[in-house]
């Protein structure tokens, strides 16, 4: 079945046992009703990702600078 669905057997097993959810249908009414909250959540997550990336970049630059000076 995993081959037919083009997914790994492990992921299929997780989906079948409900440890992960697969979206098969979305309620457009609920999406429209909550679109601002959804956008805010997405923007917050994107900001968190950007902050994490910037912090990792700064750490890498600091590490490289220290190694270069040593």
What per-residue confidence (pLDDT) applies to 61?
A: 87
User: Contact 50/56 with Cβ under 8 angstroms?
Assistant: no
Cα(30)–Cα(25) distance, integer angstroms: 12
Domain ranges for the chain: 1-25, 34-70
pTM equals 0.49
What per-residue confidence (pLDDT) applies to 33?
A: 93
User: Contact 33/43 with Cβ under 8 angstroms?
Assistant: no
69 pLDDT more than 80: no
| pLDDT (tens digit per residue) in 13-40 | 877 777 666 677 889 999 899 999 999 9
What per-residue confidence (pLDDT) applies to 13?
A: 83
Percent of residues, the chain, with pLDDT higher than 70: 87
Q: What one-character-per-residue DSSP string does 2-70 give?
A: HHHHTS-HHHHHHHHTTSS-------HHHHHHTHHHHHHHHHHHHHHHHHHHHHHHHHHHHHHHHHHH-
């Amino acid at each position: 079945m995993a081959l037919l669905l083009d997914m790994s057997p492990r992921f299929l097993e997780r989906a079948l046992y409900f440890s992960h959810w697969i979206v098969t249908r979305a309620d457009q009414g609920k999406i429209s009703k909550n679109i601002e909250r959804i956008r805010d959540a997405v923007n917050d997550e994107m900001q968190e990702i950007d902050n994490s990336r910037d912090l990792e970049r700064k750490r890498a630059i600091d590490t490289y600078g220290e190694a270069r000076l040593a």
